[in-house]
Amino acid sequence: MEGLQAYSAPLEGRRGLLRLDFNENTVGPSPKVVEAIRAIPADHYAIYPEYDGLREDVIAALVPPGTPGGAGLTPGHIGVFNGVDAAIHAVFQAYGAAGDRLLTTSPTFGYYAPCARMQGMVIEALPHRLPGFAFPLEEIAAALLPDASGSVPRLLLLCNPNNPTGTRLAAADVLALAAGAPRTLVVVDELYEAFTGDSVLPPLLAEAAATGGDPFARHPNLLVLRSLSKTAGIAGLRIGFAIGAAPLVDRVSRVIGPYDVNSFAVTAARAALADQAYIDAYVAEVLRARDWLVARLRAAGVEHHLAGGNYLLLWPRRPAAEVEQELRAAGILVRSMAGKLQIDGSLRVSLGTREQMERFWAAYRQIEG
Ligand SMILES: Cc1ncc(COP(=O)(O)O)c(C=O)c1O
């Protein structure tokens, strides 16, 4: 434990500022979520949480209406965690032993590596392809093959789209990687899929609906992570989901406590899942605001990179740390990518509403001159 470094989680004192630093929903949840939370009677606070109906609600949100047999998704396919962070931690605890290999890309979401280190795993992080940060598909496929001693990576972590580069990987490629590596658990972190698509679930569910089978029958080594933090505006309540073959979900769920997800999160999640229109409208607003901001960046000649997700990278002409500080002084938080492979010197800016992007752009222009 002495050798472990704490994961650098969001700073304190972010309330009241324009938070473009952790890719959260920037406006808060649906009023229906707020109503549902307010309606919890105080005496219910005394009761341990109940999860009845939650998994069914997740299934209803994932499966297109009218799909025969719910596309074969059952509550056993859905794991519930205290945020996707907790799901990631649980995956490593359940599957990663000392000396096992984690295969992933770099730069990527910062919590995979500490979880691997906690288990004493060896980390193999392959760089994205420059220019453009394309996914290193051939390199990952090659690294999944057995090495000289016949061993394969225990875990492959794919962040799709990738945080922070936005790198997108087609669902068919994810499925092919998983099918070609039956001894590796392939985890696809789809936290940002709502903003740009590419999820593996639609093809799996469509096939299961057509054949009447289990959507994970041909992919027993694939686990999909989804959260409501980035779209539905309940990051502070902590709830996330892992979707995969029932034995896999069962094994990952065995390493968490019986009540790790609290009642407020359950109530909020069920209300949020029932109000897909709110999520869709937020995502549409973010995408419109993104187009607006990108047009300004292009016109002003600001070096930037954007692909999937609700964030983009930009490279200020002045030192990034100074620009970050000055934005903070103007009430706007962004995240410096200092020290990260390939993107050192850039800032990651989360995308919010058009009004928020206008505020960001006005401050940025003033700072950069
Ligand atoms: C790629 C990725 N995975 C997982 C998480 C954690 O999400 P949650 O709020 O569900 O724990 C984040 C949050 O920043 C993320 O960017």
Please give the CATH number for the structural domain made up of 18-28+277-368: 3.90.1150.10
Ligand 1 centroid, distance to 240 Cα (angstroms): 9
Structure tokens, 121? 């795993």
Atom of ligand 1 minimally distant from the CA of 159: 1
Q: Domain limits of the chain?
A: 18-28+277-368, 31-275
Question: β-strands 185-189, 222-227: how paired?
Answer: parallel
Whether ligand 1 lies within 6 angstroms of the CB of 311 is answered as no
Residue 188 and residue 223 in contact, taking contact as beta carbons nearer than 8 Å: yes
For the ranges 25-29, 66-70, 102-106, the lowest mean pLDDT is seen at 66-70
User: Is the model's pLDDT at 10 over the cut of 60?
Assistant: no
What is the number of alpha carbons within 13 Å of residue 150 lying toward its C-beta? 0
Whether ligand 1 lies within 6 angstroms of the CB of 235 is answered as yes
* Tens digit of each residue's pLDDT (9 = 90 or more) over 298-344: 999 999 999 999 999 999 999 999 999 999 999 999 999 999 999 99
Whether ligand 1 lies within 6 angstroms of the CB of 240 is answered as yes
Which position has the higher pLDDT, 7 or 178? Answer: 178
Residue whose C-alpha is closest to residue 70's, from 53, 56, 52: 56
User: Is the model's pLDDT at 8 over the cut of 70?
Assistant: no
* Tens digit of each residue's pLDDT (9 = 90 or more) over 28-75: 999 999 999 999 999 999 999 999 999 999 999 999 888 878 899 999
What pLDDT score was predicted for residue 12? 75
What pLDDT score was predicted for residue 9? 58
d(CA 162, CA 250): 26
What pLDDT score was predicted for residue 298? 98
Q: Where are the alpha helices (DSSP H) in the chain?
A: 31-38, 54-62, 84-95, 112-118, 137-143, 171-179, 193-196, 201-211, 246-253, 263-274, 276-300, 320-329, 354-368
Cis peptide before 203 (omega within 30 of 0): no
Structure tokens, 224? 């999909």
Residue 134 and residue 128 in contact, taking contact as beta carbons nearer than 8 Å: yes
What's the distance, CA 237 to chain centroid? 16
Question: β-strands 155-159, 101-106: how paired?
Answer: parallel
Residue 102 and residue 108 in contact, taking contact as beta carbons nearer than 8 Å: no
Query: What burial letters (b/e) apply to 256-284, b meaning 16+ CB within 10 Å?
Result: beeebbbbbbbbbbbbbbbbeebbeebbe
Three-state secondary structure readout of 24-76: CCCCCCCHHHHHHHHCCCHHHHHCCCCCCCHHHHHHHHHCCCCCHHHHHCCHH
d(CA 292, CA 215): 39
Atom of ligand 1 minimally distant from the CA of 86: 11
Ligand 1 centroid, distance to 305 Cα (angstroms): 21
Tell me, yes or no, if the two domains 18-28+277-368 and 31-275 fold the same way: no
Whether ligand 1 lies within 6 angstroms of the CB of 229 is answered as yes
Ligand 1 centroid, distance to 335 Cα (angstroms): 15
Cα distances from 164 to residues 89, 133, 271, 305, in angstroms, run 20, 10, 29, 10
- Give the mean pLDDT of 213-232: 97
Ligand 1 centroid, distance to 159 Cα (angstroms): 10
Ligand 1 centroid, distance to 349 Cα (angstroms): 16
Residue whose C-alpha is closest to residue 304's, from 368, 366, 354, 355: 368
d(CA 368, CA 346): 14
Atom of ligand 1 minimally distant from the CA of 162: 1
What pLDDT score was predicted for residue 11? 67
Question: β-strands 335-336, 78-81: how paired?
Answer: unpaired
Which amino acid residue places its CA nearest to atom 14 of ligand 1? 22
Structure tokens, 108? 């990527």
Ligand 1 centroid, distance to 111 Cα (angstroms): 9
Residue 171 and residue 75 in contact, taking contact as beta carbons nearer than 8 Å: no
Cα distances from 166 to residues 135, 162, 255, 304, 368, in angstroms, run 10, 5, 31, 12, 24
* Tens digit of each residue's pLDDT (9 = 90 or more) over 126-172: 999 999 999 999 999 999 999 999 999 999 999 999 999 999 999 99
Which amino acid residue places its CA nearest to atom 7 of ligand 1? 84
Ligand 1 centroid, distance to 69 Cα (angstroms): 31
The answer as to CATH 3.40.50.1000 being correct for domain 31-275 is: no
What pLDDT score was predicted for residue 239? 98
Atom of ligand 1 minimally distant from the CA of 230: 9
* Tens digit of each residue's pLDDT (9 = 90 or more) over 228-284: 999 999 999 999 999 999 999 999 999 999 999 999 999 999 999 999 999 999 999
Helix, strand or coil, per DSSP, at residue 199: coil
101, β-bridge pairs: 122
Residue whose C-alpha is closest to residue 270's, from 313, 241, 301, 299: 241
Ligand 1 centroid, distance to 32 Cα (angstroms): 23
What pLDDT score was predicted for residue 5? 62
